Structure 1
């Protein structure tokens, strides 16, 4: 593996194999392309902080690979609509969409420079059915039909999240939360825990909760 900061597809494949993942060649190309663009933009704006490409891959992007497996384990409807709020640097959404391209996907962020990055990245990588919106989530939800699935990674505390987004999730729809702790026992009425998993990244234990609206 090269020691410089310009990862190749082979570099990414080798490191992901060490983490237990073996994406296809096309998936590896998309993941490497995303990683390369993050590194480029990170030099002029603080997208992800002062990480090396290896750290970006094994600390940040790795969540998307675990999330891909988690979503495939859920009984999701065909042609679903997915919302990803506070999408920032496109994590977990853009690497996820390199692997999981079900339905229509919306990346929403109020920060203009972040949405510029995401728009150009989605276009450059030719990721299908993936939309980028620069707006407040309240405005976005007013202008769109309820979603089947919403993904939340550090967007806001889960109680506030359910209050804000819950009324805009379809009956029987889901909110999947990426968290550093297990699912709460005190969910509000109308919500239940469908599935929860945990996995390790370095010294951290991370969790996915799928919360279903009954």
Structure 2
């Protein structure tokens, strides 16, 4: 097993067809080292070796950063990552895409503890963990006099996509004038079901990318 350091991470990311800056590689190495260590005690993710974590899990974040760069979002967007788990895709994503505020929303205490420990070491801008349900996260924002809806919601295996549409619709910012409305980005093992989407949603964009010789997908959806 290769040692976790920035140089080895850079080489491994290059094998995936992606690039990192030295700073990004160092952040990834620190995150993967913590994930590998904590995973031995509490089984946060399936893979046990950092190389496999990178190839099967962090790879989503590398491609997601590029996908989000092509989305039209309000300046300084509020982003909610539902069911953030061990910080995937959100924590590596923030090393490559740092727009707005990013809330990692997770109800399970052990995973919340890991993410908070990781963020304390990584110093990622405007990224925080919310311990609780997604509905509670927005309520907390409303009580603090901040946002009442999100510009971006990211979901990977949080709930089946058809239920997710109904669940997230009231959480997304409506389009107003020349301001773009909120978008839901789903990470999926399947292409978007274009013919089965309800007519109250628009498929804004879709993209596929390779993960261990299979194709995974992003769907970007916006309520009508």
TM over 0.5: yes
User: Which consecutive residues of structure 1, in runs of 5 or more, have no partner in the other structure?
Assistant: none
- Match of residue 176 from structure 1: 185
**Which of 91, 95, 98 does residue 94 from structure 1 map onto?**
91
Question: Secondary structure, in 3 states, of the residue corresponding to 1:142?
Answer: helix
Alignment root-mean-square deviation, CA: 1.2
Cα separation, 2, equivalents of 1:76 and 1:136: 24
Cα separation, 2, equivalents of 1:107 and 1:199: 23
Cα separation, 2, equivalents of 1:137 and 1:78: 22
1:201 aligns with 2:211: yes
Displacement of 1:42: 0.6
Cα separation, 1, equivalents of 2:132 and 2:155: 16
Displacement of 1:165: 1.2
Q: Which moved more, 1:182-191 or 1:83-92?
A: 182-191
TM-score, with structure 1 as normaliser: 0.95
**Larger strand percent:** 1
Displacement of 1:65: 0.1
1:49 aligns with 2:52: no
Counting only pairs closer than 5 Å after superposition, residues 2-21 of structure 1 correspond to structure 2 as 3-4=1-2, 6-21=3-18
**Which of 149, 167, 172 does residue 146 from structure 1 map onto?**
149
Question: Secondary structure, in 3 states, of the residue corresponding to 1:170?
Answer: coil
Cα separation, 2, equivalents of 1:9 and 1:67: 21
Q: Which moved more, 1:61-70 or 1:186-195?
A: 186-195
TM-score, with structure 2 as normaliser: 0.91
Regions of 4+ moved over 6 Å: none
User: Which consecutive residues of structure 2, in runs of 5 or more, have no partner in the other structure?
Assistant: 142-147, 175-180
Cα separation, 1, equivalents of 2:217 and 2:46: 22
**Which of 74, 78, 82 does residue 75 from structure 2 map onto?**
78
User: Matched residue pairs, number?
Assistant: 211
Cα separation, 2, equivalents of 1:42 and 1:175: 29
